[in-house]
Structure 1
Amino acid sequence: MAKMKIYCVTNVELKHLEQLNLNLAGVGNKKFKKKYISSLSGKNIQSKERNYSELTFHYWFWKNELKKLDKSLWVGFCQKRRFWLQSKKKIASFKQLQKYILKKPPKKWSDYESIICKPIKIDNPKRMKLLKRGYKNLLKDPSIIYDKKKQNIKLHFDMHHGFGILDKAINHLKKKNERTLFRKFVNENSSFNPHIMFISKKKIIDKWFKSLFSWLFSCEKEFGLKNLNGYDQQRLYAYLAERYLSFWFKKNTKYLEWYWTFFEKKSNS
């Protein structure tokens, strides 16, 4: 029977997470109890956590833990408010999350190399938001306002994380062919697989992290760390990784899009 290990990254200790069958990983400046894996030991990028968010743990895992795991093990990542599910379900309570959270790899996964989140659509932005945040794009091409095909990943990134940032970042990919294909991907697609969540096996995970961090560290030469502020840009490297994940796993693996949910526990849920 195939086995699976899911790591859940959080920046705060949460009791309800401790009641789920997850491997908890703490990132950020707070001290965590032993139940949470720390990203402070070994090779790490803790000093960049402000800008890399959950990727701080992903890097630590890649450099310090991945080599210890069996090559046949399914290894996945989720977040404190986003979880993998067994099937398509609406989760309204913690009891439901406990019942329907993914506990083992389904048999159909044996035909695939990677699992990524079901996509979210980002076309059809609100008119006022498009005018306010996307005015530079509209000046270049006014047809964006009514042509849904042009309301793509690139437009969405320009609107929310800085005009031209994604284009500049793509220029830092080492291979010309990959630059061309990724640029085409963000210009032709109006949905992506969110949250830097994936499930795969050792060999592919190593290739993914090698490609990802090589690119992001190169991007640092352009964007730096200290001057990235506010919700839109502080976590820039996580936002870049989120878009790149959709492209990379689809290009390099036999992938399956899978069910996930947003859930934030309230005192009475």
Structure 2
Amino acid sequence: MFIKILVATHKLYTMPNEDIYLPIHVGREGKENLGYQGDNTGQNISTKNDNYSELTALYWAWKNLDADYVGLCHYRRYFTSKGRIRQKIYKNEKFKLILSKDEIERAFKEYEIIVPKEYYLGGDTVWAHYNKFHNIEDLENVKKIIKNKYPEYMSEFEEVMSKKEIYAYNMFITDKKSFNDYCEWMFNILFELEANTDITSYDSYQKRIYGFISERLFNVWLLKHKLKKKTVNVINMEL
């Protein structure tokens, strides 16, 4: 089983030793070489990183990476199967806590995708939460795109928008076929949204619009395809 988990980063940072983890420099185009795989080789959208965040790494993997299983985590956030007691024991050696190749291989004997445990939105629905922190017109336009291009996803879209928790961070591990299917669906939606959205007035945070939207889209896609999920904790290396 050939597994590659992208570790999205924009700066030098301590990285896992296990070779299933592939540090990838997001937004690499025009930037200093950090010594990591850049998201600017082969087919890529590296120059869109300010708006797409870690999705430039996903796009690179979709178009250029040959692996049986593909995942995404972040230089500060990793999956862990360890509970709070073990996390306290290894609080100064946190890389001993992240998912290993053996753990992932065992998981895929029973499950089809690994995702974080759901993140509770403080009582807001997914729709209301987006409206509170972002421009709701963008999500309304996503709804229109799905209705026109992928009407078979509308019931799942409505269900996700009414929930009060989501699978967050754009983090997951799954087989390459599911990964490819998800990327094709998601990027088709995001590219159409981008073509019809003026973000010139957005500040640097809100300009990460397509990364924010994709977190919600992932939940729609996941609900639609009913993959057998293994949910695990996420550990922050800086906490």
* Alignment TM class, shorter chain as reference: 0.7 to 0.9
Q: What value does the CA root-mean-square deviation take over the aligned residues?
A: 2.2
Structure 2 residue aligned with 1:178: 153
Following superposition, the deviation at residue 221 of structure 1 comes to 2.3
Contact 1:13 1:32 (8 Å CA) reproduced: no
Give the residue type in structure 1 aligned to 2:22: N
Structure 1 residue aligned with 2:100: 103
Corresponding position: 1:31 with 2:32: yes
Contact 2:117 2:167 (8 Å CA) reproduced: yes
Mark the CA change 1:247 to 1:191 in structure 2 (over 3 Å): closer, same or farther.
same
1:7-156 correspondence to structure 2 within 5 Å: 7-14=6-13, 16-17=14-15, 19=17, 21=19, 22-28=21-27, 30-34=31-35, 36-65=36-65, 68-69=66-67, 73-89=68-84, 91=87, 95-104=92-101, 105=104, 107-124=106-123, 151-156=124-129
Q: TM-score, normalised by structure 1?
A: 0.77
Structure with larger Rg: 1
Equivalences, count: 230
Contact 2:190 2:210 (8 Å CA) reproduced: yes
Cα offsets for 1:207-257 (capped at 9, x unmatched): 0100010010011123245443242x1111001111111221232142314
- The sequence identity of aligned pairs, in percent, is 25
Give the residue type in structure 2 aligned to 1:235: R
Among candidates 173, 177, 181, match of residue 199 of structure 1: 173
Q: TM-score, normalised by structure 2?
A: 0.86
Corresponding position: 1:221 with 2:195: yes
Mapped to 2, the partners of 1:89 and 1:258 lie a distance apart of 16
Corresponding position: 1:252 with 2:225: yes
Following superposition, the deviation at residue 33 of structure 1 comes to 3.3
Give the residue type in structure 2 aligned to 1:38: G
Mark the CA change 1:117 to 1:18 in structure 2 (over 3 Å): closer, same or farther.
closer
Q: Which moved more, 1:204-213 or 1:219-228?
A: 219-228
Name stretches of at least 5 consecutive residues in structure 1 with no aligned partner. Answer: 125-150
Q: Which moved more, 1:18-27 or 1:87-96?
A: 87-96
Following superposition, the deviation at residue 110 of structure 1 comes to 1.6
